[in-house]
Amino acid sequence: IYKWYRSGLNRWHGLGSTADFQKIIQERCDNYPQQIWSYSRSRNCQEIKQAFMSAFISKDPCKATKEDYRRLIDLADPTVPCNKIVLWSKTKELAREYAKPRGLVTLEDTLLGSLADDLHWCGEPGSPDLNTWSCPDWKKDCRTNYLTVFWEVLSKRFAESACGTVQVVLDGSLENAFNEMSIFGRVEAPNLKPMVTLQAWLVHDPGKPPRDSCSGSSITKLKSILSERNVRFICRDNLSRDEFLGRF
Ligand code: C8R
């Protein structure tokens, strides 16, 4: 019985596809705010939705490639003006709270980032449907799953496109505020263009002491990745949430 169970739609260890995935994509696309159209090339939501679905439907959910997403990314490449990009790692909500009133942009503000934010999706070979029971988990099943590859491809484009000063919000309450295995660590930092300046903010949680700092070993590792690429680095640590958000 266990064997049957694990060979069916339930065999993966991650959350299954979000219910109404297609409908949510369509709605988010239709409601994407007009004033930031310029971040995407195409406003044809039908076409975007179809490109998204055909990237993974009927395919082995552990065999995602960058090429699978090429058509989708080409329809809505993230392009943001210089000095406006905010990256983050383990701090999505805080980064968004910081970015919004300042007119800065996280990947979730671009069309494709907003479509996929907080959703899960995978298909099943030989089936036209999404697997709503389970999808591969990064650690327990496979790294080349469609969710991970999507964020890697999109984050790489986002980081490569950045110019001027790029900011990154890191969690200073963690032992390693910079994690080389995160998407920021393995995809974004190593793909910033030479001459970009990265401004890092180490913000600690309310009620928690700061555990990492600009002179700690994880940030030293980040510095070395950046200096190889001629990316300048500025770092500010020991910030509380309120200090960082400008509320004293
Ligand atoms: N980025 C990556 N992952 C994203 C994402 C995004 O914009 N938006 C969502 N919802 N996700 P983490 P990280 C999901 O470990 O790995 C970009 C994905 O399922 O806290 O360093 C963004 O530009 C993904 O697996 O952060 C940002 O700068 C987790 O959230 C980095 O990459 C990643 O959560 C953040 O990626």
- Tens of pLDDT, residue by residue over 212-243, are 999 999 999 999 999 999 999 999 999 999 99
Structural contact between residues 197 and 234, judged by C-beta atoms closer than 8 angstroms: yes
Catalytic residue among 29, 62, 163, 235: 163
Structural contact between residues 151 and 165, judged by C-beta atoms closer than 8 angstroms: no
> 2 vs 98, which has greater pLDDT?
98
Helices (H), 144-197: 146-161, 183
Angle at CA of residue 64, ends 58 and 66, nearest 5°: 125
Query: Nearest C-alpha to atom 25 of ligand 1 is from which residue?
Result: 148
Element (H, E) at 6: helix 2-7
Whether pLDDT at 207 is above 80: yes
Of 22-31, 40-49, 99-108, minimum mean pLDDT range: 40-49
Cα 79 to ligand 1 centre (Å): 18
pLDDT at 55: 98
Element (H, E) at 92: helix 92-99
Cα 96 to ligand 1 centre (Å): 12
pLDDT at 83: 97
Of 22-26, 40-44, 132-136, minimum mean pLDDT range: 40-44
Q: Is the distance from the beta carbon of residue 14 to the nearest atom of ligand 1 less than 6 Å? A: no
Q: Is the distance from the beta carbon of residue 218 to the nearest atom of ligand 1 less than 6 Å? A: no
Q: Is the distance from the beta carbon of residue 138 to the nearest atom of ligand 1 less than 6 Å? A: no
Q: Residue 33 — very low, low, confident or very high, per pLDDT cuts 50/70/90?
A: confident
pLDDT at 79: 82
Whether pLDDT at 112 is above 60: yes
Specify the DSSP class assigned to residue 171: E
pLDDT digits (tens, 9 = 90+) for 131-156: 999 999 999 999 999 999 999 999 99
pLDDT digits (tens, 9 = 90+) for 153-166: 999 999 999 999 99
pLDDT at 104: 95
Instruction: Mention every residue, 6+ apart, whose C-beta is less than 8 A from residue 66.
Output: 149, 152, 153
CA 95 to chain centre: 12
Percent of the chain with pLDDT over 90: 86
pLDDT at 162: 96
Query: Nearest C-alpha to atom 30 of ligand 1 is from which residue?
Result: 118
Instruction: Mention every residue, 6+ apart, whose C-beta is less than 8 A from residue 36.
Output: 109, 110, 111
Q: Residue 8 — very low, low, confident or very high, per pLDDT cuts 50/70/90?
A: confident
Active site residue 29: no
pLDDT at 248: 59
Q: Is the distance from the beta carbon of residue 182 to the nearest atom of ligand 1 less than 6 Å? A: yes
pLDDT at 3: 56
Cα 5 to ligand 1 centre (Å): 31
The whole-number average pLDDT for the span 177-196 is 98
Whether pLDDT at 43 is above 80: no
